Amino acid sequence: MEASHRQSWVRAVILFGVVYGVVGIVFGTLASPSVSAQVRVTWRLAAWVASAAVYAAHIGYEHFRLGHSPRSTALHAAMAVALGAFALAVAATVHSSSAASSSPLWRFLVALVIWPVATALPAFLVALLVAAVLARLPRRSAK
């Protein structure tokens, strides 16, 4: 039971992290400089909404399905967010090395560390708050 429980949250972290990465890459491609500024803003807003939905789904899965504590829920959500940010940093690094970029490569290499940390910290704090509120709500009994 213990091993399968751990596999559940690890799989969830990987799955949600990959989804964050895919959302970022796909919506980033759709918001390319070749489209108008208004269209770019719309695609970026859509990416935020999609990411928020993924985030909420992950918190809900951890809390309701797996029954994790607020701290575990927040940690797992933050890990998935960090994984997604790392995937985006990798994609940006690969893109910069293949495109005619005027930005030095070291900036993209720094992003491999900074983006996951910069996204995981607020993701942890917000998920901790949301999960703590969910933990205080009365549970419905199954009939």
What the block records as the tokens of 142 is: 């199954």
How many CB atoms are closer than 10 A to CB 24? 21
Which amino acid appears at position 115 of this protein?
Answer: W
On whether residue 55 sits in a domain, the answer given is: yes
- The closest alpha carbon to 123, from 93, 92, 86, 95, belongs to 86
Q: Pick the residue with more confidence: 120 or 101?
A: 120
Please state, in angstroms and rounded to a whole number, the distance separating the CA atoms of residues 80 and 15: 8
Number of domains making up the chain: 1
On whether residue 105 sits in a domain, the answer given is: yes
On whether residue 140 sits in a domain, the answer given is: no
Question: What percentage of the chain's residues is helix, strand, coil (to nearest 5)?
Answer: 85, 0, 15
On whether residue 37 sits in a domain, the answer given is: yes
On whether residue 141 sits in a domain, the answer given is: no
On whether residue 142 sits in a domain, the answer given is: no
On whether residue 61 sits in a domain, the answer given is: yes
Whether pLDDT at 141 is above 90: no
pLDDT of residue 5: 64
List CB contacts of 32: < 8 A, sequence separation 6 or more: 40
Q: Which tens digits make up the pLDDT trace of 78-92?
A: 999 999 999 999 998
Residue-number span of the structural domain to which 127 is assigned = 2-135
On whether residue 143 sits in a domain, the answer given is: no
What the block records as the tokens of 129 is: 């708050």
